[in-house]
Structure formats: C-alpha cells, structure tokens
Amino acid sequence: MNDKPSVDHRAPANARVQVDNDRVRVTEYRFAPGAETGWHRHGWDYVVVPQTHGELLLVGPAGEQSATLVQGESYYRQAGVEHNVINAGNQELIFIEIEMKAHVG
C-alpha cells in the first residue's frame, strides 16, 4: 500500500486481509497511535466500517484534513481517492475496509 515513502517515517498500520476474491477484498486495519497506511490510491469503490472511535489525519493531494471515526458508523468512497491515513489520536484505531472489485448488473 505504500506507493510513496512516508516523509515522517511513521510506523505502518497493521493490515490483515480477511476475504479476497474476484468480487471483494475485506481488510482489517489496526493503527497504533501515530501509525499510517502510507500513501496509496484506491482502485475500487470501498466502504469503511469503524470498529473504534478516534481521530484520523488524512493527507491527500490537496493537503491535510481531520476526520473522526465513529464506531459502527460506516462510510462509502468512490475509487480514485489518494491519501495517507494516520491515527491522530492516543489510542489504537481499528476499522474494516470493504473494497468492491466487481460490478453487479
């Protein structure tokens, strides 16, 4: 997931793929305080299902923005998002990311 090196040399988030087939990829992400995904671009539409509450720092082409994860409140993003996701809080953050590879039609 690290297409561009981290400037700040943060610890990487722990990513564990739970399902990966021709239709979806489901990955659990665990972030220690200050951990990051590294710069990446999403090739598929995806849904994030937060398992914990917490604060994220999102670094993208347009700059930085903060976001709050709310446990159990899922959100959807379309393919093409480019960013580095960083745990900006002081406790572990966990979310499930569901990437949709196939279109149903």
State pLDDT tens for residues 15-59.
999 999 999 999 999 999 999 999 999 999 999 999 999 999 999
Q: What is the dihedral of CA 61, 62, 66, 70, to 10 degrees?
A: -70
pLDDT of residue 6: 47
Name which of 53, 55, 95, 92 is nearest 70 in CA terms. Answer: 53
Dihedral sign, CA of 34, 38, 39, 45? Answer: negative
Which contiguous run of DSSP H or E holds residue 16?
strand 14-20
pLDDT of residue 96: 98
Say yes or no to pLDDT of 5 above 60. Answer: no
What domains can be seen in the chain, in order of their start residue? 14-87+95-100 (2.60.120.10)
pLDDT class of 7 with cuts at 50, 70, 90 = low
Q: What percent of the chain has pLDDT over 70?
A: 90
Mean pLDDT (the chain) is 92
Distance CA 33, CA 78 (A): 27
Distance CA 83, CA 77 (A): 12
pLDDT of residue 102: 74
